[in-house]
Amino acid sequence: MNLRPLGDRLVVKPIEEAEQTSTGIFLPETAKEKPQQGKVVAAGPGARKENGERIPLDVKVDDTVLYAKYAGTSIKLQGEEYLILKESDVLAIVENGNK
């Protein structure tokens, strides 16, 4: 994929939660929550400050990130779902997250 996000934006591939909950019960499709984790596949150069310099991003490609439900803009490219988030929509980095 060749998406180059602008400013402080990230392209994120959502991670589906495993089909099994922590209590070991399989849930039918409709009961699954919308994913809130994703892997960063592309990152912008950072937003510009007033003087023209960039503010570097804290998030890097391959980070697994946590984001609020319904954050960002969901896009579909070549049959795959991606999410374009602003770095400020990222709540936290999951350090031993799924890759």
Can you give the binding site for its own copies, defined by CB under 8 A?
2-7, 9, 11, 21-23, 33, 36, 42, 48-50, 52, 55, 58-59, 66, 68-69, 73, 75-79, 84, 87-88, 90-97
Looking at beta carbons only, is 30 or 88 nearer to its own copies?
Answer: 88
Residue 22 is encoded by which pair of tokens?
A: 């922590």
Looking at beta carbons only, is 23 or 30 nearer to its own copies?
Answer: 23
The residue count for the chain: 99
Asked if 12 and 37 count as a contact pair (C-beta separation under 8 A), the reply is no
Looking at beta carbons only, is 25 or 28 nearer to its own copies?
Answer: 25
Pick from 15, 34, 13, 16: nearest CA to 77: 13
